[in-house]
């Protein structure tokens, strides 16, 4: 029997296209030069664009019973990579609202205002991979306590697993949050079939409409309440490996989905 041919992978995007994407990001999220005030019209444009993407894409959820997962494990800690964090609130449709960690930077403030319009709440703060002083300056410890409180109040939270300025490497912060709270980590990857990567530290993915949008969700990862450094490192690596696998799975599903046909990606 003739086997259908999988489509060829798209070529790498040109530097000109990436530079154009960076200009778009700067235009949508740049702050006004006058008194540092936000630019509400451009913020609304960015919000409208991000809402436009899931409305024009064919949604693929793997596994499809994500709401059953929410009923069974909620509240939980949603983990994703930095480069996909901004699109997550627009595509992850859960029964309950979530509290999302955002940075205190100007871009983070814009993101916080955006997710509030979607009905979610923001927790302001971020980690620091290189300095404990930066952790305090960026409200990392205060945000950690806020997330603990939110989980104790039966609210799920969302956080990036990697810590600036190192992308794609899971930090220990989210592991310690799961240990202290007793709640599971749910790794999530989001990918569209049409996209390009913006060459900044977190390799932000600029998603494009009119294609396929994949949400890949991993099995919940629990962390025992222990101070064993070896065990915590093992769990940190497990989250990192799972997120990388989910990203590969989401890319495959976004590239190979066909009407009436499913490409089955590798199992973890």
Identify which of 225, 221, 115 has the alpha carbon closest to the alpha carbon of residue 170.
221
Is 234 among the domain residues?
yes
Two structure tokens written together for 36: 């540092």
243: alpha, beta or left, given left = phi > 0 and alpha = psi -120 to 50?
Answer: alpha
Mark the ranges of the chain whose per-residue pLDDT is less than 50.
1-13, 31-36, 258-268
**Structural contact between residues 257 and 211, judged by C-beta atoms closer than 8 angstroms:** no
Would you give the DSSP letter of residue 58?
Answer: E
Q: Is residue 264 part of a domain?
A: no
Determine, yes or no, domain membership for 3. no
Q: Are the beta carbons of 157 and 92 closer than 8 angstroms?
A: no
Q: Which of 76, 132, 140 is nearest to 104 (CA)?
A: 140
Domain count of the fold of the chain: 1
pLDDT at residue number 27:
59
Q: Is residue 48, in this structure, part of any structural domain at all?
A: yes
Question: What pLDDT is stored for residue 109 in this prediction?
Answer: 82
Instruction: Evaluate whether residue 217 is within a structural domain.
Output: yes
DSSP secondary structure string for all residues of 111-142:
HHHHHHHTT-EEEE----SS-HHHHHHTTHHH
Q: Is residue 262 part of a domain?
A: no
Dump pLDDT digits (tens) for 101-125.
Answer: 998 777 788 888 888 888 899 999 8
| Burial of 264 per CB tally in 10 Å (0-12, 13-18, 19+) | exposed
pTM tops 0.85 = no
Contact predicate 196/154, CB 8 Å: no
The CATH number that applies at residue 121 is 3.40.1130
- Does residue 155 lie within any of the structural domains? yes
Which pLDDT score, from 0 to 100, does residue 45 have?
Answer: 81
30: in domain: yes
Print the domain residue range for 74: 15-256
- Which residues, 6+ apart, have CB-to-CB distance to 5 below 8 Å? none
Residue 186: φ, ψ to 5°: -110, 105
């Amino acid at each position: 029997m003739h086997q259908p041919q999988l489509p060829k992978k798209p070529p790498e995007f040109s530097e000109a296209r990436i530079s154009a994407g960076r200009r778009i990001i700067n235009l949508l999220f740049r702050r006004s030069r006058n008194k540092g005030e936000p630019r509400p019209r451009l913020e609304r444009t960015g919000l409208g664009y991000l809402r436009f993407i899931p409305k024009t894409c064919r949604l693929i959820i793997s596994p499809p019973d994500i709401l059953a997962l929410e009923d069974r494990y909620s509240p939980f800690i949603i983990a994703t990579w930095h480069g996909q964090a901004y699109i997550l609130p627009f595509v992850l449709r859960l029964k309950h609202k979530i509290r999302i960690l955002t940075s205190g930077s100007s871009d983070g403030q814009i993101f916080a205002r955006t997710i509030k319009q979607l009905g979610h709440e923001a927790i302001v703060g971020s980690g620091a991979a290189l300095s404990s002083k930066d952790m305090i300056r960026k409200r990392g410890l205060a945000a950690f306590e806020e997330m603990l409180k939110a989980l104790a109040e039966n609210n799920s939270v969302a956080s990036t697993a990697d810590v600036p300025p190192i992308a794609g490497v899971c930090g220990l912060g989210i592991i310690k949050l799961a240990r202290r709270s007793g709640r599971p980590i749910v790794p999530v990857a989001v990918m569209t079939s049409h996209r390009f990567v913006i060459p900044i530290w977190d390799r932000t993915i600029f998603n494009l409409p009119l294609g396929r949008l994949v949400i890949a969700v991993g099995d919940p990862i629990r962390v025992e309440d222990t101070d064993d450094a070896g065990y915590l490192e093992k769990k940190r690596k497990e989250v990192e490996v799972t997120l990388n696998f989910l990203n590969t799975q989401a890319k495959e599903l976004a590239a190979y989905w066909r009407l009436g046909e499913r490409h089955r990606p590798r199992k973890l």
